[in-house]
Structure 1
């Protein structure tokens, strides 16, 4: 479920998972494995939000106020 939400965010931000992996300082394969298992910790979700320049509070909030 979170993997799908992150993928939606990447589309809205015009980014690829490779771009996100680079911003997170990890290898694309590691991020791909996380997506495949849909296994993200709260800390990782916060780091993803920060890398995307958005807010995370159990949800992701886009600049226009849309909640995902």
Structure 2
């Protein structure tokens, strides 16, 4: 479920999973495996939000007010 939300967020931010992995200083393979298992910790979700310049409050809040 969170993996799908992150994918939507990446589309809106015009980024790839590889781009996000680089921002998080993890290997693309490790990040792909997390997507496959869809097991992100709350800490990781906060880090993803920070890397993408959005807020995380149990959901992602975009600048235009949309929630994912």
| Smaller-chain TM-score bracket | over 0.9
Shift of residue 59 of structure 1? Answer: 0.7
Partner of 1:31: 31
Partner of 2:55: 55
TM-score (norm: length of structure 1) = 0.99
TM-score (norm: length of structure 2) = 0.99
Shift of residue 48 of structure 1? Answer: 0.1
Q: Distance in 2 between matches of 1:28 and 1:62?
A: 24
Aligned ranges 1:7-22 → 2 under 5 Å: 7-22=7-22
Unaligned runs of 5+ in 2: none
Unaligned runs of 5+ in 1: none
Q: Please tell me the root mean square deviation across aligned C-alpha atoms, in Å.
A: 0.3
Q: Distance in 2 between matches of 1:67 and 1:15?
A: 18
Count the aligned residue pairs: 68
